[in-house]
Amino acid sequence: MKKVTVTTLYKKKREKEKITAMTAYDFPFATLMDESGVDIILVGDSLGMVIQGGHSTLHVTMDEMIYHTRIVARACKRTMVVGDMPFMAYQTSVEDAVRNAGRFLKETDASAVKLEGGASVCEVISAISSAGIPVQAHIGLTPQSVHQMGGFKVQRDEERLMADALAVQAAGAFSVVLEGIPSGIAKAITEALTIPTIGIGAGPHCDGQILVMHDMLGINSGHVPKFVKKYAQLGEEARKGIKAFIGEVKDGDFPAPEHCYDKESGLPQRFNPRSSGQITAAFFLNVCIYFLPEP
Ligand code: KIV
């Protein structure tokens, strides 16, 4: 299976084929996304909020990002994996930035990194990409600057946004995330750039779209931004399953005989036609045991 690369993404932009991207933080969901054909998985520092339960992304560390990126990348045969540079991993010096970006490629199977900022981080983007590491930029609403922006606010300064977009492209970014900006501005930027734009809360004209997995699969019970569409209600399903388990344990309905091991054979105690979906060796043995006379 051919891995998605920066070349694949450039081709998609040229041919006006939309790019799909999602965040993921663990092996099972990354496997589902890879098998479903998502082009890019961003192991976002949003994990500080959706996985760790924080109010912002600021406390996430490099080691935490490496851990999550490693287990996501292990699942991806086709999907491109991008590791997100956390707060203070690239702001302190260009040397720190290159070293930390390098960790994503040396210690995980990610093939690119993302960092936040426009013109102000161009020196860093240029140094990292000169080291052979593809960099995805991220402009507009940049959550690591939440205190500077005075909250998670839509960004509307078109002149500045366009200047940032052109600057990150010139510095060598292979793509740019446009977050929380009006659709018309995102359209103008997408038309002005030769690198793909990936939108989140930036309207339909971007070259691709990304959503945070917990928001779009309905795992979060808290606030979900207006731009999110919920494609599933996994939180509700999980809640139902958890409540059913609690009820059955309390009522003594779980475990039933088919969930218990037989002392002699070590096999499940009785063949239960309700729970059998596949014919396996264990299934076959169970059927034989079921019809054997009791000793
Ligand atoms: O950290 C993240 O998940 C992100 C996306 C919202 C683009 O930066």
Secondary structure of residue 178 in the 3-state scheme:
strand
Instruction: Quote the CA–CA distance of 162 and 255 in Å, as a whole number.
Output: 61
Cα 65 to middle of ligand 1, angstroms: 13
For residue 31, is it within any domain? yes
Domain count, the chain: 2
Confidence of residue 270 (pLDDT cuts 50, 70, 90): low
- 44 touches ligand 1 (CB under 6 Å): yes
Residues 37 and 83 in one domain: yes
- 212 touches ligand 1 (CB under 6 Å): yes
Q: Indicate whether 292 pLDDT > 70.
A: no
Scan for tokens 């993302």, then name that residue. 114
- 22 touches ligand 1 (CB under 6 Å): no
- 210 touches ligand 1 (CB under 6 Å): yes
80-84 and 112-114: which strand pairing?
Answer: parallel
Q: Quick one: how far is CA 47 from the chain centroid?
A: 9
Nearest partner of 206 among 173, 181, 229, judged by Cα: 181
Scan for tokens 């009791």, then name that residue. 294
- Closest Cα to atom 3, ligand 1: which residue? 44
**Residue range 157-214, pLDDT digits in tens:** 999 999 999 999 999 999 999 999 999 999 999 999 999 999 999 999 999 999 999 9
Ligand 1 atom closest to Cα of residue 211: 6
- 200 touches ligand 1 (CB under 6 Å): yes
Radius of gyration for the alpha carbons in the chain, expressed in angstroms and rounded: 24
Residue type, 61: T
Q: What range defines the domain where residue 41 resides?
A: 6-216
CATH number of domain containing 100: 3.20.20.60
pLDDT of residue 17: 98
| Annotated catalytic residue within 116, 179, 191, 237 | 179
Residues 136 and 250 in one domain: no
Q: Quick one: how far is CA 265 from the chain centroid?
A: 44
Residues 172 and 259 in one domain: no
Instruction: Quote the CA–CA distance of 230 and 225 in Å, as a whole number.
Output: 11
Instruction: Please say if 179 is a catalytic residue.
Output: yes
CB 119 within 8 A of CB 161: no
For residue 49, is it within any domain? yes
- Closest Cα to atom 8, ligand 1: which residue? 44
pLDDT of residue 9: 98
Look up residue 78 and give its two tokens.
């086709």
Residues 185 and 50 in one domain: yes
Mean pLDDT of the chain: 92
pLDDT of residue 277: 47
How many beta carbons lie within 10 A of that of residue 160, not counting itself? 14
Confidence of residue 254 (pLDDT cuts 50, 70, 90): very high
Ligand 1 atom closest to Cα of residue 45: 1
- Closest Cα to atom 5, ligand 1: which residue? 44
**Residue range 80-118, pLDDT digits in tens:** 999 999 999 999 999 999 999 999 999 999 999 999 999
Residues in the chain: 295
Report the predicted TM-score, pTM, of the whole model to 2 decimal places. Answer: 0.90
Transcribe 40-59 into DSSP letters. Answer: EEEE-TTHHHHTT--SSSTT
pLDDT of residue 81: 99
